[in-house]
Amino acid sequence: MFTNLTKLDLKDKQCMSDAGSPKLCMKALPGEGAERSCAYDGARVVLMPITDVAHLVHGPIACAGNSWDNRGARSSGSQLFRRGLTTDIMENDVIYGGELKLRESILEVAAKHNPKAIFVYATCVSSLIGDDVDKVCRDVAAELTIPVISVNCPGFLGDKNIGNRIAGEVLFDRVIGTAEGTEEKIPLSINLIGEYNIAGDLWGVLPDLKNLGIKLQTAITGDAKFDDIRSAHRASLNVLICSKSLTNLVRKMEIRYGIPFIEGSFYGIHDTSQTLISIAKALNDPDLLERTLVYVQKKEEETRQIIAGYKKLLENKRAILFTGGVKTWSMVSTLAELGINILAGGTQNSTPEDFQRMKELMDPTAQIIEDTSSAGFLKIIAEKKPDLIVAGGKTKYLAHKTRTPFLDINHGRKLPYAGYQGMITFAEALTRTVLSPVWGHLKGDFPPREGELQDDKAQTL
Ligand code: SF4
C-alpha cells in the first residue's frame, strides 16, 4: 500500500552540516517527533484550504482534532473545509478493520454536505491495521458523481515537509488537469503556489494583481476552489511562494504543462514590488512590465508615507527573528524597512537556499541561532536583551517568560501581513506590540504598586 510513498525521492532530506543551517534530516531526534508536525498534518496544511471539498480523516479522533483549522486559512465562500470530519477509529475497528466504516462515512459525507470532492486522509492507525484506503475510495467513487481522493499520508512517514510533498503529488496526479473543456493557456494568468491565505494574506495581494490586469487562476491552496485547481494547468505562470513545500509540484507542472515558474514573496514593500516586477517580466508582456514599474513605485511611495509614523517609533529597536519559509529572508528586509536592527536570526523548516539568502541579507554582526532548543533560545535572549522577538507561536511562551515583546508572524496570527496593505498592518501590529504598556508592568516590581497602575492608566489615556 505504501510502496510509492516509501520510494519518495529523499535526496533533499539529508542532514545539513553547516553550523546554523536548517535541519532537514528525516530522522526524528528524541523528543522532536512529539513537538513537530507529522506527514499527515503536513498534507492537511496544503489541502485543507480547498474550501468547497470535504476533508475526511480516517483515523482516531485525535488526528482530526489536532490538525483542525491549525493554520487559520480563510475562505471568501464555502466553509465546508472547516468542518471536522473523521471516521473516529475505535478499538473494534482496530481489531476487525475500518474499511466498512470508511465506506459508510464517505457515503454519508457525500449525501449530507454535497461537496465538490472528498479528500480521505490515511493516518498512522488506519495504515497500521492495513485498511486499503485507496481501494475503498476508488470503489465508492464509482458509485458517486464526485471524485473521492485518497491521501496516503500516515504520520509515521515523516515530518510536515514530507506531508506537504505528498499533498503536492496528490494534486498533480489526481486534480490538476482534470477539468473538461479547453486546454488553452489563459493570457496573463498565474497560479500562486504555497499561498495558504493565512489570516487573509492572499486578499492583500489580489487588489494589486487586479489593478495590473493579472488574472489569478488559483492559489494552491489559499481560498481555493476545487474546479479552479482542476484548471490550474491553463495558467501561464506559476509563482512559488513557499519554496519548501511545493517545489516538486511546480517542477512537474513545468514538464507536463510547459508552465514556467518563478519564486517570490509578498512580505514587505521591497519583496512585494520585486515579485510583481518578476511576474510581469516572466509573463513577457512589455506593456504589463511598463505598467508594473509605474505601479510599484506609486504603491511604495504611498505605503512608506503611511508607515512613516510607525517607523519613527520603531527605528533602532533591536530584534531577534526566527521563522521559516520565505519569511526567513523576506522578514529581514521588512524589519530593515522599519529601521529595526536584527541582533540574531534563525530558521527551521526552510530550504538551505532560504537560509543562505537570510544570512546574506542580515548584518554580518548578527548572530545565527544554532541552538533552537528552548534552552538555546533563553540563552540567546538573555545575552542579546532584544527589544522584540519576531517569530512563530512556538516561541511565544519563551518570549513571554523573558518579558520580551513578541509578534507572531507564522500561521497562528490573526492579521494578514502580505502585500502593501499587509506591510501597513504589520508596522501597526509591531508598534502596538513593542509600545504596549503591559511590558512596563511585567518588568516592574510585581505586584505593581497602586500608584504605578494609575500613572500608567493616565499616560495611556
Ligand atoms: S497521523 Fe499519526 S503522528 Fe499524525 S496525528 Fe495521527 S497518530 Fe499522530
Among 175, 152, 159, 151, smallest CA distance to 55 is for 151
Q: How far is the CA of 59 from the centre of ligand 1 (A)?
A: 8
Longest dimension (CA), the chain: 74
Q: How far is the CA of 129 from the centre of ligand 1 (A)?
A: 14
Q: Give the strand order in the sheet containing 406-408.
A: 367-368, 341-347, 318-323, 388-391, 406-408
Cβ(121)–Cβ(44) under 8 Å? yes
Q: At what angle do helices 269-282 and 419-435 cross, to 10 degrees?
A: 170
β-pairing, 367-368 vs 341-347, is parallel
Assigned C-alpha cell, 300: 511604495
List the end-to-end C-alpha distance of the chain, in Å, as a whole number. Answer: 65
Cβ(325)–Cβ(302) under 8 Å? no
Q: How far is the CA of 64 from the centre of ligand 1 (A)?
A: 9
Q: What is the number of the ligand 1 atom nearest to the C-alpha of 125?
A: 7
- The best mutation among 58, 124, 161, 162 to test binding of ligand 1, ranked by most ligand atoms within 8 Å of the C-beta, falls on 124
Q: Per-residue pLDDT for 119 more than 90? A: yes
Q: What is the pLDDT of residues 7-20, one digit of tens each?
A: 333 333 333 334 44
| Cα gap 87→104, rounded to integer Å | 9
Q: How far is the CA of 134 from the centre of ligand 1 (A)?
A: 19
What pLDDT, on the 0 to 100 scale, is given for residue 29? 44
| Cα gap 162→158, rounded to integer Å | 6
| Residue located nearest, by CA, to atom 5 of ligand 1 | 63
Q: What is the pLDDT of residues 209-247, one digit of tens each?
A: 999 999 999 999 899 999 999 999 999 999 999 666 799
* Domains of the chain (ranges, CATH numbers): 29-174 (3.40.50.1980), 189-299 (3.40.50.12380), 307-443 (3.40.50.1980)
Q: What is the pLDDT of residues 88-112, one digit of tens each?
A: 999 999 999 999 999 999 999 999 9
| Cα gap 24→26, rounded to integer Å | 6
| Residue located nearest, by CA, to atom 6 of ligand 1 | 63
Helix, strand, or coil (residue 198): strand
What pLDDT, on the 0 to 100 scale, is given for residue 432? 96
| Cα gap 400→95, rounded to integer Å | 46
Among 333, 384, 321, smallest CA distance to 357 is for 333
Q: How far is the CA of 133 from the centre of ligand 1 (A)?
A: 16
Helix, strand, or coil (residue 408): strand
Give the mean pLDDT of the chain: 87
Q: Which residue would you say has higher pLDDT here, 67 or 197?
A: 197
Cβ(353)–Cβ(243) under 8 Å? yes
DSSP-derived letter for residue 239 is E
Q: How far is the CA of 101 from the centre of ligand 1 (A)?
A: 19
Q: Is the preceding peptide bond at 416 cis, omega within 30 degrees of 0?
A: no
| Residue located nearest, by CA, to atom 4 of ligand 1 | 155
Q: Name all residues whose Cβ lies below 6 A of ligand 1.
A: 38, 40-41, 59, 63, 66, 123-124, 154-155
| Cα gap 446→320, rounded to integer Å | 26
Among 215, 206, 434, smallest CA distance to 320 is for 434
| Residue located nearest, by CA, to atom 3 of ligand 1 | 155
Cβ(306)–Cβ(392) under 8 Å? no
β-pairing, 148-151 vs 118-122, is parallel
Cβ(15)–Cβ(25) under 8 Å? yes
